[in-house]
Amino acid sequence: MEWRQADPSSQEENHQACKSTKGRGDEGLQESESLVNFPDFFPGLGAVYVKPETLPGGPFLSFDHKDRLVATIYMIPLQDISSHKKFDLSGFSGRSDHVTFYFNSGHPGVAMPHYHFVIWHVSKKGEASVAK
Protein backbone atom coordinates (compact mmCIF):
# COMPACT_ATOMS: atom_id res chain seq x y z
CA MET A 1 0.00 0.00 0.00
CA GLU A 2 1.22 3.48 -0.77
CA TRP A 3 0.43 6.34 1.57
CA ARG A 4 -0.08 9.48 -0.40
CA GLN A 5 -1.00 13.03 0.35
CA ALA A 6 -4.70 13.77 -0.05
CA ASP A 7 -6.27 16.57 -2.06
CA PRO A 8 -3.20 18.49 -3.19
CA SER A 9 -4.03 22.09 -4.03
CA SER A 10 -0.83 22.92 -5.89
CA GLN A 11 1.83 21.20 -7.95
CA GLU A 12 4.26 21.54 -5.04
CA GLU A 13 1.83 19.76 -2.70
CA ASN A 14 1.46 17.02 -5.28
CA HIS A 15 4.79 15.68 -4.03
CA GLN A 16 3.70 12.59 -2.15
CA ALA A 17 4.04 13.31 1.54
CA CYS A 18 4.53 9.81 2.87
CA LYS A 19 5.31 6.77 0.80
CA SER A 20 5.53 3.17 1.84
CA THR A 21 5.31 -0.06 -0.07
CA LYS A 22 4.25 -1.78 3.13
CA GLY A 23 0.75 -1.87 4.54
CA ARG A 24 0.02 -0.29 7.90
CA GLY A 25 0.08 -3.70 9.57
CA ASP A 26 3.60 -4.27 8.27
CA GLU A 27 4.67 -1.04 9.96
CA GLY A 28 3.43 -2.33 13.35
CA LEU A 29 0.54 0.11 13.28
CA GLN A 30 -2.85 -0.90 14.63
CA GLU A 31 -6.21 0.80 14.35
CA SER A 32 -6.91 2.78 17.50
CA GLU A 33 -10.35 1.16 17.62
CA SER A 34 -8.71 -2.26 18.05
CA LEU A 35 -6.72 -1.03 21.07
CA VAL A 36 -9.27 1.10 22.91
CA ASN A 37 -12.93 2.06 22.67
CA PHE A 38 -12.40 4.50 19.79
CA PRO A 39 -14.43 4.80 16.57
CA ASP A 40 -12.98 3.39 13.35
CA PHE A 41 -13.33 6.85 11.78
CA PHE A 42 -13.28 9.89 14.05
CA PRO A 43 -14.72 13.08 12.52
CA GLY A 44 -12.00 15.70 12.31
CA LEU A 45 -9.16 13.17 12.59
CA GLY A 46 -10.08 10.27 10.32
CA ALA A 47 -9.05 6.62 10.70
CA VAL A 48 -6.35 6.73 13.35
CA TYR A 49 -3.52 4.18 13.60
CA VAL A 50 -0.75 3.89 16.19
CA LYS A 51 1.98 1.53 17.34
CA PRO A 52 0.75 0.31 20.76
CA GLU A 53 4.18 0.73 22.35
CA THR A 54 4.10 4.49 21.61
CA LEU A 55 0.90 5.17 23.57
CA PRO A 56 -0.14 7.64 24.83
CA GLY A 57 2.02 10.16 22.95
CA GLY A 58 2.12 8.67 19.49
CA PRO A 59 2.73 9.37 16.69
CA PHE A 60 -0.75 8.51 15.48
CA LEU A 61 -1.28 8.42 11.72
CA SER A 62 -4.57 9.75 10.40
CA PHE A 63 -6.06 8.51 7.12
CA ASP A 64 -9.03 9.78 5.10
CA HIS A 65 -11.84 7.69 3.58
CA LYS A 66 -9.66 6.94 0.54
CA ASP A 67 -6.86 5.56 2.73
CA ARG A 68 -4.58 8.55 2.19
CA LEU A 69 -2.37 9.84 4.99
CA VAL A 70 -3.59 13.31 5.98
CA ALA A 71 -1.98 13.97 9.37
CA THR A 72 0.48 12.86 12.02
CA ILE A 73 -0.84 13.40 15.55
CA TYR A 74 0.88 13.56 18.92
CA MET A 75 -1.14 13.56 22.15
CA ILE A 76 0.79 15.34 24.89
CA PRO A 77 -0.51 15.13 28.49
CA LEU A 78 -1.24 18.51 30.07
CA GLN A 79 0.64 17.36 33.17
CA ASP A 80 3.81 16.92 31.09
CA ILE A 81 3.48 20.37 29.56
CA SER A 82 2.85 21.94 32.99
CA SER A 83 5.95 20.26 34.41
CA HIS A 84 8.04 21.63 31.50
CA LYS A 85 8.93 18.15 30.33
CA LYS A 86 11.17 17.85 27.29
CA PHE A 87 9.66 15.83 24.45
CA ASP A 88 11.74 13.65 22.16
CA LEU A 89 9.03 12.43 19.83
CA SER A 90 9.65 10.03 17.01
CA GLY A 91 9.62 11.91 13.75
CA PHE A 92 7.21 11.93 10.90
CA SER A 93 8.02 11.49 7.27
CA GLY A 94 7.04 13.83 4.54
CA ARG A 95 5.86 17.32 3.97
CA SER A 96 3.64 19.35 6.23
CA ASP A 97 1.21 22.10 5.34
CA HIS A 98 0.21 23.45 8.74
CA VAL A 99 -0.09 22.51 12.41
CA THR A 100 -3.08 22.51 14.74
CA PHE A 101 -2.52 22.47 18.49
CA TYR A 102 -5.58 22.15 20.75
CA PHE A 103 -6.74 20.95 24.17
CA ASN A 104 -8.67 17.72 24.74
CA SER A 105 -10.10 16.81 28.16
CA GLY A 106 -9.52 13.10 27.52
CA HIS A 107 -10.96 10.24 25.49
CA PRO A 108 -10.58 6.44 25.31
CA GLY A 109 -6.92 5.57 24.92
CA VAL A 110 -5.65 8.85 26.35
CA ALA A 111 -7.93 9.46 29.32
CA MET A 112 -5.93 12.26 30.95
CA PRO A 113 -6.29 15.89 29.80
CA HIS A 114 -3.90 16.49 26.93
CA TYR A 115 -3.13 18.52 23.84
CA HIS A 116 -3.44 17.26 20.29
CA PHE A 117 -0.48 18.39 18.21
CA VAL A 118 -1.62 17.71 14.63
CA ILE A 119 0.82 18.00 11.75
CA TRP A 120 -1.32 18.23 8.64
CA HIS A 121 0.12 16.82 5.42
CA VAL A 122 -2.73 18.39 3.45
CA SER A 123 -3.99 21.93 2.99
CA LYS A 124 -6.73 23.35 5.21
CA LYS A 125 -9.08 22.52 2.36
CA GLY A 126 -7.79 18.94 2.47
CA GLU A 127 -8.86 18.66 6.11
CA ALA A 128 -12.40 18.35 4.79
CA SER A 129 -11.53 14.77 3.75
CA VAL A 130 -11.74 13.74 7.43
CA ALA A 131 -14.47 16.14 8.58
CA LYS A 132 -17.20 13.48 8.31
pLDDT at 107 exceeding the cut of 90: no
* DSSP3 helix / strand / coil % (the chain, rounded to 5): 15, 30, 55
One-letter amino acid of 93: S
CA–CA separation, 44 and 7 (whole Å)? 15
pLDDT in the model for residue 11: 26
pLDDT digits (tens, 9 = 90+) for 17-32: 333 322 455 467 766 6
pLDDT at 83 exceeding the cut of 90: yes
In which band, very low, low, confident or very high, does the pLDDT at 114 lie, cut at 50, 70 and 90? very high
Q: Where are the domains of the chain?
A: 24-130
pLDDT digits (tens, 9 = 90+) for 11-66: 233 233 333 322 455 467 766 666 666 778 888 889 988 888 887 788 888 999 99
Nearest in space to 68 (alpha carbons), one of 27, 29, 20, 117: 20
In CATH terms, the fold of domain 24-130 is Phosphorylase Kinase; domain 1 (3.30.200)
pLDDT in the model for residue 14: 27
